[in-house]
Amino acid sequence: MDLQGTRRKRNHPIVTGNSLKDMYPHNLQLYNLPPSSDIQLSEFEELALERLQLFRMLEQTTQKGLRIYGDEWKQCVRNQLNNQLKKFYSLVKSTNFENPSDAELEARRADHISHFILRLAYCRTESLRKWFLARELEWFKLRFQEQQPNSIEAFLKLNNFTYSPISSEEKSKFYRELSESTASANMIDQLNFYKVKFTEVPVLIKSRRVFVDKGFAYIPSFELVTCVLGSFRSSLSEALVYANHRLPLMDDDRINFLISNLHHMYTGKDYTQNLNSGKASLTNLDTYARDHFPLCMKHIYGILKSVHHLKHFCRLQLGLFLKGDHFPLCMKHIYGILKSVHHLKHFCRLQLGLFLKGIGLIYEDSMTFWKDEFTKAMDSGKFEKQYAYNIKHMYALVGQRVNYSPYSCIKIISNNVGPGDHHGCPYKHWDSGILRSKLNELGMPSETVQDIVDTASKGHYQVACGKYFEYIHGPQNKVAINHPNQYFEESLECGEKGKGQKSQGTPKRTKKQETMDNTPQIRDINWEEEM
């Protein structure tokens, strides 16, 4: 694959006609041959990010708790592809593979080239190879299962697979055995069965899903993907190891930079364009940082309003909790430190400040917010001299006027955090004991705390954040988190759903329940008056 040009984005010509159809005769590919055509560097980067976004989408759909390859999982993937990656969506929906449109041919080309780009990026370490291989197999199986029988037959022929359906006589001979070993026993007459060596389908044999006779397994057509996947997995694993050995020979610095950093690039929603501008303000910022109370906190607050007194640990638990539930734990922690000591170091200010900008805090409100907090520990002159410029810089009002984007999870996780710093990702940068203690302070059940700590200790930091979100908003709200501002938006959406459900004919609440639900903003609690 030759590479030309610069990083400037441009419209890429769509090659049409018989040449492209001859190169890509089918939606499914085993990627045996690398691309041979020239490609602009801008398209190289564009295709790499699109495929990376696709693979993260597959991974995050599974993290939502949906059964992989189940109907809900497939529908969720289709919906996301249709909304965000229409190019790849055309490869999933069932079409007439023999007469593809120009757009479908271009999608096949993009699928082919982007595979080899990511193969270069993910061949470098065992963990990267393992992740890439898993996503490629998921992507292949998803598409294979959407193919019609004639499309599957054509794919097998194109790739020299010698699987042929057994004859009707052989099917009649083993009819009872095939019925007993096949999940869809009532569809035996409609299904094609293939005779393959038993060594090709150990997974099916282990789970007793196929009939075996004289060293051959008889597999139904819907299980044929297992054989093809086994072959694909083996060849791709070897190809990744080979690519890793050849990688040092690549001498293009631009490509080396891209493939070395690709895994850490953010591919989600762009929060640089502030679509929420003005949505957050000083009047509702504390509310966003705190809604909604779990039952344990409602109980403590109810006791406070009833007897006007709390013991030490009750005060501590409620006081710490009042620092945020629409905020992810990373932002809630920084926000709490700011409210406590009225100062933050540079990278803490940057992480929280850009997050607040992303949720819609306009410049004027942001300046007021930071000044109000910092001048509780210093005079206004010092604030104007040392900190005001930095806030203007975040909003692209001074300096090079760069419209900085709020930090994604990948950016936060990859940051270095030194002694005394409070930025970063709690699940990555906190000791497990500190994380456990913080979660306990928030009133989480011990089994939930243990689950989150265990998940974080295994390096699944964003999954741990998703489990935290699930605890706050209920097990019915499973979300794959990849950005603090996404967490905020998902949390608000859950809050709106909750309000809608409450308004649709819920039982009449008692005065005691209404009192417990009247949760205040942070500024509304006068601790001296209550105590």
Residues annotated within the binding site for [4Fe-4S] cluster are: 330, 409, 425, 465
Element (H, E) at 74: helix 71-84
Tokens in use for 179?
């019925």
Q: Residue 264: CB partners within 8 Å, gap ≥ 6?
A: 410, 411, 414
Measure the CA–CA gap between 281 and 277, rounded to whole angstroms: 10
Measure the CA–CA gap between 175 and 169, rounded to whole angstroms: 10
> Annotated binding site: which residue ranges?
330, 409, 425, 465
**Displacement of CA 217 from its chain's centroid (Å):** 38
Measure the CA–CA gap between 153 and 143, rounded to whole angstroms: 14
Cis peptide preceding 342, ω within 30 of 0: no
Beta partners for 503?
none
Q: Residue 36: CB partners within 8 Å, gap ≥ 6?
A: 1
- Tell how strand 216-220 and strand 38-40 pair up: unpaired
* Tokens 């954040």, located at residue: 465
The phi, psi pair for 501, rounded to 5°, reads -65, -35
Measure the CA–CA gap between 31 and 112, rounded to whole angstroms: 7
**Displacement of CA 515 from its chain's centroid (Å):** 38
CA distances to 288, 458, 469 from 427, in Å: 22, 10, 13
Measure the CA–CA gap between 204 and 228, rounded to whole angstroms: 13
What is the CB neighbour count within 10 angstroms for residue 120? 22
Strands (E), 231-295: none
Q: Residue 327: CB partners within 8 Å, gap ≥ 6?
A: 288, 289, 335, 484, 487, 488
Nearest Cα neighbor of 53 from 483, 484, 488 is: 483
Do 139 and 55 form a contact (C-beta atoms < 8 A)?
A: yes
Do 456 and 425 form a contact (C-beta atoms < 8 A)?
A: no
Measure the CA–CA gap between 397 and 389, rounded to whole angstroms: 9
What is the CB neighbour count within 10 angstroms for residue 74? 18
Burial class (CB in 10 A: 0-12, 13-18, 19+), 512: exposed
Q: Residue 81: CB partners within 8 Å, gap ≥ 6?
A: 54, 57, 88, 89, 92
